[in-house]
Each structure stands twice: as C-alpha cells, then as structure tokens.
Amino acid sequence: MQFVDEVVIRVKAGDGGNGCVSFRREKYIEFGGPNGGDGGDGGDVYLVAERNLNTLIDFRHQRYYEAQRGENGAGNNMTGKRGDDQEISVPVGTVAYDAETGEMIGDLIEPGQRLLVAKGGWHGLGNLRYKSSVNRAPRQSKPGTVGELRVLRMELKLLADVGLLGLPNAGKSTLISAVSSARPKVADYPFTTLYPNLGVVSVGVTQSFVMADIPGLIEGAAEGAGLGIQFLRHLSRTSLLLHVVDVAPMAEENEPVRAVRTIEGELEQYSEELSNYPRWLVLNKIDLLPPEERIARCQEIVDALGWTGRVFQISAATSAGTQDLCFHIMQYLDEHADHSN
C-alpha cells in the first residue's frame, strides 16, 4: 500500500431546512391560524479516528465530502428532519488544519475520537413562530442558514515511542527488522526506505514499545534534497530518538562524525524543538570492524563528537547488542511515563 501522510480535502456541512408558511383550514374549526413548522438543522461533518487505518491514501481518490441538508418544515406544525452527519474515517494520529487560515482545528490521537470540522446550518423558522396578538396571520418565514464550507489540510503523524534517525544505509531498517516483526525493504543501496515503517518491540512477556523508521536524511534535506524532511513530522510524537550511525562506511562522505553533524544540522533547520529531543547515539555495524579495533574506534567517534549522552554499540545484522538496547529503551520509557504522570 502506498503511504500518504498529507492531503487537502473540501468538506461541506448540510444547509438548514427552510421554515414553512401554512395556515389551518379545517371545516369544523371556526378560527384558522398559522401552523407552518420549522425546518431541520443541517448535518455536521466529523473526522473520526480509526485504529485500522494507517495512511491517508483514500483521500487521493475522493476529495469532497458533504453532510445531508435539513428537510424543510411543513404544515400542521411539522418540523423538518435534521440532516444526517457526515463521518469521515481517518487514521489515529491525524492532525486537521484549516487550509485557508493555517489554524489547527484538532488532533486525533485516540481510537474513536471525533472532531467537528464543519457545522451544519441552523433550521429556518415557520410562520407559527411569528404569530402575535397584533399579527394573527403572519405570512413570513425564515430560511435555513448555509452549512459551513471548509478546506482542510490533514497531516498524519505516526504514533511511536521511539524514532530512528540516520543517513541512508545507516542500518535503521535492519535494526527495526531485528527487534520487531516489521519487515521493511533492506538492500545495499541508499533510499530503500521510501516511507515510514512501524514495528512493535516486545521486551519480556508484558512490556513493549513502538519504534518508527523514517527514510534516511542527507545533507540539504531541509532544502528538499533526497526525500527532503517531509517525514520528520512523524518523529514529533516520539519520546526518544535513536541516532543510528554506520561505524564502518564504505564512502568517505559518510564518515561517522560527519554523518552525525549532518543530521544535527538538518534537525535544527527543521525544528528547534525536535533538535532538543532526547537522543541516543547507536553505533551500528560493529561486526564489520576487527574485534581488537571496535572499542577504540567507537570511543574515537564519541570523543570527536564530544557526545555526553547515552551510547550503544550494536550490530543490527547479527543482533549483537540489540537486546540490551531495547531493555534500556523500555526502562527509559517507563521512567519517562512515571515522571509525566
């Protein structure tokens, strides 16, 4: 399935039904009078978070949604039926914006959550409403109001506990494959990951967390190079970032220290908030280094970076060190959850 994480659609709430002008005319009733009923309210438009959806691709095929119009009022003081609401299913994690003003309308983060995005028109008034002591036979009524029309821009931000950062071919997809049941494409050429992947990582019998692998960044991503930074929004809900680095790159431009600096620069350009997220350094592919050189090489990278945060040495390909990494991630998430409650 193609992954789509941003779309623009139009939604139209139902118009209110018109009020009715009507009078009682019954054979054995001496005095008649107004009996025109009110119209019905127009239906509203809601976004509804659906657990089983994970992309916005359906909106590429349908871009206009409209709720039902309220029925007009009728004689004998009969009120028109309210229009049916239009419910639009979206993935959990969808954020809705007014495309014309840029205002955020709401954020759907819980399954079943409903968000009103367009309000239906109000019902019109029948002539019975205008009867008074000085106006016994009013011939006026009020039409229903027009339902709200809105252009929505919707973004999908994946819900994950941990996000993976790194240059193409750093081993992010291999890592998520090694620790979860996710099976992203893995190959020995850049940009094998073209859209984000989620994997559930189990730690022990009862504990687990969700890991997100996004397409690799390259220098200039903030200006649109490579796949750009369009997928970085998916990291904004995470609690922890893992910066995966290839300790034994074939190409000189992917030298570990430069790789880290490149990603740091792109994060700062994209979002100061995201650049300040908790981030651990994960030195990957240690299996490609001779055993006697591994410790010294990894320490050399840490020293050159002046890195003061957590550091892990792993081989995603052989799973060496991945279990210990996952254990510490779970421990961190538990502690973080305790502090936030």
Binding region for GTP: 166-173, 191-195, 213-216, 284-287, 315-317
C-alpha 256/C-alpha 286 separation (Å) is 12
What count of other Cβ atoms lies within 10 Å of the Cβ of residue 95?
A: 20
Sorted by sequence, the CB contacts under 8 Å of residue 220 that are 6+ apart come out as: 226
User: CA 318 → CA 174, 179, 283, distances in Å?
Assistant: 10, 11, 14
Q: Of 176, 236, 225, 172, give the one whose Cα is nearest residue 200.
A: 176
The vertex-123 CA angle with 119 and 125, nearest 5°, equals: 155
| Binding site listing | 166-173, 191-195, 213-216, 284-287, 315-317
C-alpha neighbours within 13 Å on the C-beta side of residue 245: 27
- Given a contact cutoff of 8 angstroms between Cβ atoms, the answer to whether 35 and 25 are in contact is no
Amino acid at site 316: A
Q: Contact 170/288 with Cβ under 8 angstroms?
A: no
Residue 294 · residue 320 · CB < 8 Å: no
Task: Indicate the helix (H) or strand (E) that contains 328.
Answer: helix 322-340
Are 116 and 109 contacting, i.e. CB atoms less than 8 angstroms apart? no
Token output for 198: 């989620």
Sign of CA dihedral 112, 118, 120, 122: positive
Which parts are annotated binding residues for Mg(2+)? Answer: 173, 193
Three-state secondary structure call for residue 130: helix
